[in-house]
């Protein structure tokens, strides 16, 4: 089966003013199944304040982890569980719940034979950070995920695990604190270098022309492309304009492409969600913008490789142009 998981942050509440931080967050995650007419709604899973869904396997077992940022419809509760579900042969059922605070992304990754599951979380509100929690890494012990290591954070958004020159790294994005690259020592993750001073949202890496590059998405600053110099990542290219939320890397007929989706500009009280997002092509050691496409509050981009060789790109939109939550997720066919 080919499934597409779409978390939902909030439902629109009738007869209430539009507000990007409003709505009813007692939501379900949508599961769509690929059929003859494309992806169609198939199942739903209770997952309040859904920010992210991560599918992964351990041996012959299949799991779906959902990050929940909050519950309620005002006042909201950021202290809420984020859950991992396991496939039982016909549906996903609850497997393990984790204490969280404003959780935003799960990331599963492997180092040798070990499985890790990392939760990016936290939010610092004026005058109230007593309940805030650090981001956390869990390790599979053969039966469940056990707490392994805390990563200092205040307003974390994302992770990215990758290997370069045989060394394992884990990037951690934070909006308030610096975004930091951590290095696996064999027993724990230690800070290796700072990647951005603030406004961190997401990462992606790729190899081109015999070198390794790391993209750093920043919401309220220019995003950057960094280059591995053998010991650390150094500045290589600035990607103009703020607003970036996620990157996706894919191959086409002319080479390597990068999709960038943009979230919002402005402030939470006066945001602009109708933004153009970008498609870049790697050309002469530089990312060159080759196309723009319209998005509204875009939060994620996922590359889907179909059995017939078709490449699809799913782009999730969290808000409409008039700040309502009933926004569409769009599947694009990548022509290459």
Question: What's the number of domains the chain is made of?
Answer: 1
pLDDT the model gives residue 129: 65
In a domain, 9, yes or no: no
pLDDT the model gives residue 307: 87
**CA angle, corner 30, sides to 29 and 31, nearest 5?**
120
Q: What does DSSP say about strands 298-305 and 311-317: parallel, antiparallel, or unpaired?
A: antiparallel
CATH number, domain with residue 182: 2.130.10.10
Please answer whether residues 189 and 209 qualify as being in contact, where contact means their C-beta atoms are separated by less than 8 angstroms.
no
pLDDT tens for the chain, 336 residues long, are 999 999 999 999 999 999 999 999 999 999 999 999 999 999 999 999 999 999 999 999 999 999 999 999 999 999 999 999 999 999 999 999 999 999 999 999 999 999 999 999 999 877 666 789 999 999 999 999 999 999 999 999 999 999 999 999 999 999 999 999 999 999 999 999 999 999 999 999 999 999 999 999 999 999 999 999 999 999 999 999 999 999 999 999 999 999 999 999 999 889 999 999 999 999 999 999 999 999 999 999 999 999 889 999 999 999 999 999 999 999 999 988
In a domain, 130, yes or no: yes
In a domain, 281, yes or no: yes
In a domain, 7, yes or no: no
In a domain, 46, yes or no: no
In a domain, 178, yes or no: yes
In a domain, 31, yes or no: no
* Torsion angle (degrees, nearest 10) of CA 12, 17, 18, 21: -80
Query: How far is 249 from 255, CA to CA, in rounded Å?
Result: 11
| Rg, C-alpha atoms of the chain | 19
Residue 278: CA atoms inside 13 Å, Cβ hemisphere, count?
20
- E strand spans, 59-177: 61-68, 82-87, 92-98, 105-111, 114-120, 135-140, 145-151, 156-164, 167-174
Which domain covers residue 316, as residue numbers? 60-334
């Amino acid at each position: 089966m080919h499934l597409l998981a779409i978390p939902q942050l909030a439902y629109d509440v009738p007869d209430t003013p539009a507000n990007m931080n409003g709505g009813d967050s007692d939501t379900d995650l949508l599961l769509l199944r690929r059929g003859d007419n494309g992806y169609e709604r198939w199942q739903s899973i209770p997952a309040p304040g859904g920010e992210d869904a991560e599918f992964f396997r351990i041996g012959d077992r299949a799991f779906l982890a959902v990050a929940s940022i909050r519950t309620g419809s005002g006042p909201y509760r950021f202290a809420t569980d984020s859950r991992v579900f396991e496939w039982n042969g016909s549906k996903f059922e609850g497997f393990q719940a984790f204490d969280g605070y404003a959780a935003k992304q799960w990331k599963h990754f492997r180092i040798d034979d070990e499985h890790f599951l990392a939760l990016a979380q936290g939010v610092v509100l004026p005058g109230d950070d007593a309940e805030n929690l650090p981001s956390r890494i869990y390790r599979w012990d053969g039966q469940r995920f056990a707490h392994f290591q805390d990563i200092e954070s205040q307003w974390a958004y994302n992770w990215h695990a990758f290997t370069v020159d045989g060394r394992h790294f884990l990037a951690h994005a934070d909006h308030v604190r610096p975004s930091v690259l951590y290095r696996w020592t064999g027993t724990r993750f230690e800070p290796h270098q700072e990647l951005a001073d603030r406004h961190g949202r997401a990462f992606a890496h790729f190899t081109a022309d015999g070198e390794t590059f790391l993209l750093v998405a920043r919401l309220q600053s220019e995003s950057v492309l960094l280059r591995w110099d053998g010991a650390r990542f150094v500045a290589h290219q600035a990607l103009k304009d703020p607003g970036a939320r996620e990157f996706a890397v894919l191959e086409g007929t002319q080479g390597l492409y990068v999709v960038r989706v943009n979230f919002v500009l402005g402030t939470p009280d006066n945001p602009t969600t109708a933004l153009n997002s970008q498609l870049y092509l790697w050309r002469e050691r530089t990312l060159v913008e080759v196309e723009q496409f319209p998005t509204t509050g875009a939060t994620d981009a996922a590359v889907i490789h179909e059995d017939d060789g078709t490449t699809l790109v799913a782009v999730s939109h969290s808000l409409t142009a008039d700040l309502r939550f009933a926004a569409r997720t769009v599947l694009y066919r990548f022509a290459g």
